[in-house]
């Protein structure tokens, strides 16, 4: 049975993991992530979840206090669409063997070509760009532009549609002329696309993508069944030694990125949060201690286990586990191909997702505000910071306790098995044939 699963899943997982488009989406979002985390910290400081915090600092620093911090956060959050276009094109170009900087630049220009440059104010039309086109609502358009612009650029480069410079010309000059015709093709293509959409009822490519693709995908991708499937697959792949999140993130990450940015925008504007399921929800309310929610497993190990193997593993793994790093458990216990531990390893994240989704939907626990905390932020602290409420921490405590109860019988079973193995090994070492001495 196990071999059949491996035979079917390994090729699928390998194809997904090595797919150049999915790899580029993942790598592109990873380029942006450090900026989002850093600027999220500024937003969090400006809106720290303590009653009277903002009021106190406004009295001390003046009414400009919130503006100082929002200026930093807006520098990234208001431009996530265009940043996605640049970063994903950079990664895609690099993975396609092209100049990554030039790939990012042609995507950037293409995004600007398709961006509406006028706003209707009453009866007047004003030349301006709305930040909604450049921010979270433009992320899916940015993804599409990045992939198409790089493919057109690559098409021209592969066919040597370049201007050849004579020998002796500096390499930098040659490189710039090599990019001239491919870049021109990209610009002309998106220029024609802009004209085409201006003749339709959508008027802009942005309106078309947002209405036809981004909104429906967002609703489907951030539904409870979708998030349950995400966590089931992420844990299930780990059983076979495949990094589950690297596979599932390739598909779901763009959707979670958009929902997170939507919540962040609402949080900045002190409006009601639109989504339950965001990247912080996935990172902070479905698994504790890494994939499979193995922090609970380690707590059980210290509470009841007697086998030296498990206790030594617990000592090595507990500190990284608090910060969400659990490779020592996955490969040291191991979880990989372990039929005993795989049941709670899959069950805990799925159950955590279900409980978190239900209690947040009922309004018992505050929703994640979109502030992107590092995924290594320890539980309880992360629950409070991500929701701005003690209810987030309380939910994490309840789920960790529940995970402990789920892991308990399975860890106990494994402990007995390891004790028998250790006892048998000890007896074998003591079984000396004295007739040979």
3-state secondary structure string, the chain?
CHHHHHHHHHHHHHHHHHCHHHHHHHHHHHHHHHHHHHHHHHHHHHCCCCCCHHHHHHHHHCCCHHHHHHHHHHHHHCCHHHHHHHHHHHHHHHHCCCCHHHHHHHHHHHHHHHCCCEEEECCEEEECCCHHHHCHHHHHHHHHHHHHHHHHHHHHHHCCCCCCCCCCCCHHHHHHHHCHHHHHHHHHHHHHHHHHHHCCCCCCHHHHHHHHHHHHHHHHHCCHHHHHHHHHHHHHHHHCCCCHHHHHHHHHHHHHHHHHHHHHHHHHCCCCCCCCCCHHHHHHHCCCCCCCCCHHHHHHHHHHCCCHHHHHHHHHHHHHHHCCCCHHHHHHCCCCCCCCCHHHHHHHHHHHHHHHHHHHHCCCCCCCCCCCCCCCCCCCHHHHHHHCCHHHHHHHHHHHHHHHHHHHHHHHHHHHHHHHHHHHHHHHHHCCCHHHC
pLDDT digits (tens, 9 = 90+) for 69-96: 888 878 888 888 899 999 999 999 999 9
pLDDT digits (tens, 9 = 90+) for 25-50: 888 988 988 888 888 788 778 777 67
pLDDT band at 324 (very low <50, low <70, confident <90, very high): confident
pLDDT band at 297 (very low <50, low <70, confident <90, very high): very high
The whole model's pTM is what?
Answer: 0.76
pLDDT digits (tens, 9 = 90+) for 358-409: 999 999 999 999 888 887 889 999 999 999 899 999 999 999 999 999 999 9
pLDDT band at 437 (very low <50, low <70, confident <90, very high): very low
Which residues fall within 8 angstroms of residue 435, CB to CB, at 6 or more apart?
none
The rounded distance, in Å, linking the Cα atoms of 177 and 163 is 6
Q: Are 313 and 411 in contact (CB under 8 A)?
A: no
| pLDDT confidence of residue 436 | 46
């Amino acid at each position: 049975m196990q071999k059949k699963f491996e035979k079917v899943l390994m090729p699928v997982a390998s194809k997904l993991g090595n797919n150049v488009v999915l790899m580029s989406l993942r790598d592109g979002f990873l380029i942006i992530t450090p900026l989002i985390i850093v600027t999220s910290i500024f937003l969090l400081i400006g809106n720290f979840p303590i009653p009277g915090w903002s009021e106190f600092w406004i009295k001390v620093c003046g009414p400009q206090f919130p503006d100082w911090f929002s200026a930093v956060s807006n520098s990234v959050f208001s431009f996530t669409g265009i940043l996605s276009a640049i970063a994903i094109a950079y990664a895609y170009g690099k993975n396609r063997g092209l100049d990554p900087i030039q790939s990012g630049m042609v995507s950037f220009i293409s995004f600007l070509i398709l961006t509406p440059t006028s706003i209707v104010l009453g009866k007047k039309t004003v030349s301006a760009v709305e930040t909604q086109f450049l921010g979270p609502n433009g992320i899916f358009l940015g993804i599409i532009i990045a992939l198409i612009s790089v493919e057109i650029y690559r098409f021209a480069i592969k066919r040597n549609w370049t201007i050849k410079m004579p020998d002796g010309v500096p390499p930098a000059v040659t490189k710039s002329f090599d990019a001239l015709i491919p870049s021109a093709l990209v610009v002309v293509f998106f220029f024609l696309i802009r004209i085409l959409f201006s003749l339709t009822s959508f008027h802009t490519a942005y309106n078309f993508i947002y209405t036809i693709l981004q909104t429906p995908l967002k609703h489907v991708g951030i539904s409870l069944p979708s998030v349950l499937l995400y966590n089931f697959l992420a844990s299930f792949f780990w059983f076979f030694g495949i990094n589950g999140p690297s596979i599932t993130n390739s598909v779901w990450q763009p959707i979670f990125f958009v929902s997170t940015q939507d919540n962040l925008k609402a949080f900045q504007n002190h409006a009601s949060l639109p989504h339950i399921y965001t990247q912080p929800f996935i990172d902070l309310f479905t698994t504790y201690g890494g994939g499979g929610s193995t922090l609970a497993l380690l707590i059980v190990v210290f509470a009841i286990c007697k086998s030296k193997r498990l206790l030594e593993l617990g000592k090595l793994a507990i500190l990284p586990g608090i910060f969400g790093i659990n490779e020592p458990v996955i490969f040291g216990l191991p979880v990989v191909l372990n039929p005993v531990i795989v049941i709670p390893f899959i069950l805990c994240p799925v159950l955590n997702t279900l409980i978190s989704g239900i209690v947040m939907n009922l309004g018992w626990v505050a929703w994640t505000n979109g502030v992107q905390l590092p995924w290594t932020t320890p539980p309880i602290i992360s629950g409070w910071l991500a929701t701005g409420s003690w209810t987030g921490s309380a939910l994490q405590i309840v789920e960790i306790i529940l995970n402990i109860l789920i892991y308990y019988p399975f860890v106990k079973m494994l402990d007995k098995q390891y004790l028998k193995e250790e006892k048998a090994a000890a007896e074998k070492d003591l079984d000396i044939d004295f007739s040979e001495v």
